[in-house]
Amino acid sequence: MATNNMTIQERQNQGISDSWSLRDFRNKMGKMQIGKFAKADEATGEVREFTSCVFTDPNNPNQQTNKTFVAISSKLGISTAKEIKENVDNLQVVKLSQSGSYVLCHKGANAWEDVDF
């Protein structure tokens, strides 16, 4: 599911339809891998690098449907396998209700930053 085609504002305006701890999501969806990718902005042509995750279900032999892509929240501040492993108990995967896309982010209260004004 391609969350990277959406603008940041579009993603922020979406509600969450489901969530899992990162461990539960891995147990449900399969082996987790992380990688760096590049995507050109359609409007400006500027190439932006981002890190994303993919979960591969070993019980599904179909190479077209056995992968679940999960974007990493830009607010997470984590972009390596080592950092994910060190923070696994503080991470969750959420499913965005409008797009059906998955995003890796902080768990619970840590996912939101208070704005005092």
pLDDT per residue over 25-62, tens digit each? 999 999 999 988 888 988 999 998 888 999 999 888 88
Ordered strands of the 102-106 beta sheet? 16-21, 91-96, 102-106, 67-72, 47-56, 31-40
Q: What is the mean pLDDT of residues 63-77?
A: 86
Q: pTM of the predicted model, to two decimals?
A: 0.73
Regarding beta strands 47-56 and 31-40, do their DSSP bridges make them parallel or antiparallel, or are they unpaired?
antiparallel
Residue whose C-alpha is closest to residue 106's, from 94, 88, 91: 91
d(CA 85, CA 89): 9
Q: How far is CA 99 from the centre of its chain?
A: 13
Domain ranges (residues) in the chain:
3-7+14-108
Can you give the pLDDT at residue 38?
86
